[in-house]
Amino acid sequence: MKDSLAIPALTEDLARVLIDADTINRRVDELARQISSDYADAESDLILVGVLKGSFIFIADLARKLNVKHVVDFIALSSYHGDHSGNVRLLMDTRENMEDKDVLIIEDILDSGNTLDYLIRNFKTRNPKSVKTAVLLDKPDRHILPVEIDYIGFTIPDVWVVGYGLDYNEKHRTLPYIAEMYPQA
Ligand code: 5GP
Ligand code: MG
Ligand code: MG
C-alpha cells in the first residue's frame, strides 16, 4: 500500500521544522498526564476552553489523552498581532456555565500575554471554582503583560511559527509539525 501519511515537506516560505510531530505528541502526553493528576480529585467535570482557531489541534489531542472527566468548549477572539494596545475583542463566547467549575484555558501560544490576561480576567468574573491555563508554546522574549501559565508545552525563540493549529494568513495550519517561517516582507 502506498504511504498516504507522508510528512508534508517544507515549502519555500518555511525555514525549518522547529518541533516535529513525535516530539509534540510526547509532550502533549506528558501535559495530559500532569493535568489528569492535578484534577484527579475534582468534584465536577473540567471545562476545557480552546481559544479558536489556533488551539484546535492541541485541544483535540490533549483532550483525548486526559484521564479525567471533561467537557470541551471554545471561544473566539480577535487580537491583532503587533498591536500592542492590548485590544482584544470577543467574537464568539463559550457556551458552558462556568459557575463553581474548574476551567482550563487551552491556547496555542503565549506572545505578549494580552489574550490570556484578557481571558483570565473575563472568566474570573463568571465565578468559576478555578481558572488555569495551558499553552503549547511560549515566547518569553515577547511578554508584555505578566501572565501566570500553569502548563507550558515548549519554550521557543522570537520567531513566527506555523503548523499544529497555528497559521500565517490561514496557511500552514494543519501541518503535523511546528515550523519556523522566514520573516515576511
Ligand atoms: P498574545 O500576544 O495575546 O499573547 O498572543 C496573541 C496571538 O498571536 C496568539 O494567540 C496567536 O494566535 C498569535 N501568535 C503569536 N505568535 C505567533 C506565532 O509565532 N505564530 C502564529 N501562527 N501565531 C502567533
Ligand atoms: Mg491564539
Ligand atoms: Mg492566527
ipTM of the complex, rounded to two decimals:
0.96
> Kind and range of the H or E element at 101?
none
Q: How confident is the model at residue 83 (pLDDT cuts 50, 70, 90)?
A: low
Q: What is the pLDDT of residues 121-131, one digit of tens each?
A: 999 999 999 99
The whole-chain average pLDDT of the chain stands at 95
Domains of the chain: 16-80+88-181 (3.40.50.2020)
Q: What is the pLDDT of residues 32-46, one digit of tens each?
A: 999 999 999 999 999
Q: Is 165 in the pocket of ligand 1 (CB under 6 A)?
A: no
pLDDT at 84 over 70: no
Indicate if 111 belongs to the active site: yes
pLDDT at 179 over 90: yes
pLDDT at 85 over 90: no
Q: Is 112 in the pocket of ligand 1 (CB under 6 A)?
A: yes
Q: Is 167 in the pocket of ligand 1 (CB under 6 A)?
A: yes
Q: What is the pLDDT of residues 49-81, one digit of tens each?
A: 999 999 999 999 999 999 999 999 999 998 766
In this structure, what DSSP letter does residue 8 have?
Answer: P
- Number of helices and strands (H, E) in the chain? 3, 9
Atom of ligand 1 nearest to the CA of 111: 4
Q: What is the pLDDT of residues 140-149, one digit of tens each?
A: 999 999 999 9
Q: What is the pLDDT of residues 43-52, one digit of tens each?
A: 999 999 999 9
Q: Which pTM value belongs to this model?
A: 0.95
Query: In angstroms, rounded to a whole number, what is the distance separating the alpha carbons of residues 174 and 163?
Result: 6
With H, G, I as helix, E, B as strand and everything else as coil, classify residue 15. Answer: strand
Strand locations in 130-177, DSSP E?
Answer: 130-138, 151-155, 161-162
Pocket of ligand 1, candidates 147, 166, 167, 168: which has the most ligand atoms within 8 Å of its Cβ, to mutate? 166
